[in-house]
């Protein structure tokens, strides 16, 4: 049987990575990871060890969604029109000289497009394309049928392509 400490070692980076790609903010991702690990500790004895990974992914996803809602709620109360752009800029990672490289630019554009994708498509794309989970694992983690995972992944990828086309066309027309 897996011990709590071993589970933390095994899943800590997955929890953080999922939260980071979902929220695109390091501090919020760290908060979510800490929250998930606390929930894991509090529920350790009641979790079926064979379902640990799906449980962790589900809790991480829910905590990330909650953090995103809090962020949006906070912004809508505190920040107005022009300040909203400043607030979003403040939470984005600072560009480095490496971002000048074309491959990094493409990666950045894809992640920005991913930010626009709605649930449940966003979670499925992150789990498959970033976390490299198998379809069956995603199905189990999100508690949705295998065929639905495939459909959501296809639609999510399609949404990202359309967003990338739209943003590229907008830049060309400027």
Residue ranges per domain, the chain? Answer: 1-93, 95-174
Q: Quote the CA–CA distance of 29 and 144 in Å, as a whole number.
A: 25
Backbone angle region of 149, left / alpha / beta, with phi > 0 → left and psi within -120 to 50 → alpha = alpha
**pLDDT tens, position by position, 130-172:** 899 999 999 999 999 999 999 999 999 999 999 999 988 877 7
Least confident of 8-17, 59-68, 79-88, 148-157: 79-88
Write down the pTM of the prediction.
0.68
Three-state secondary structure call for residue 95: coil
Architecture of domain 1-93: Orthogonal Bundle (1.10)
Domain 95-174: top CATH class: mainly alpha
């Amino acid at each position: 049987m897996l011990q709590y400490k071993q589970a933390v070692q095994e899943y800590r980076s997955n929890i953080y990575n999922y939260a980071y790609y979902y929220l695109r903010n390091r501090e919020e991702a760290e908060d979510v990871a800490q929250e998930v690990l606390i929930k894991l500790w509090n529920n350790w004895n009641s979790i079926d060890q064979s379902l640990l990974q799906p449980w962790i992914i589900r809790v991480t996803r829910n905590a990330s969604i909650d953090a995103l809602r809090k962020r949006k709620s906070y912004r809508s109360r505190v920040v107005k029109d022009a300040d909203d752009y400043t607030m979003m800029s403040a939470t984005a990672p600072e560009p480095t000289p490496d971002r000048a490289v074309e491959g990094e630019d493409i990666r950045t554009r894809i992640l920005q497009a991913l930010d626009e994708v709605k649930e449940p498509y966003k979670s499925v794309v992150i789990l498959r394309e970033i976390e490299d989970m198998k379809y069956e694992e995603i199905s189990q983690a999100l508690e949705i049928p295998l065929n639905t995972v495939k459909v959501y992944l296809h639609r999510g990828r399609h949404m990202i392509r359309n967003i990338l086309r739209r943003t590229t066309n907008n830049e060309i027309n400027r």
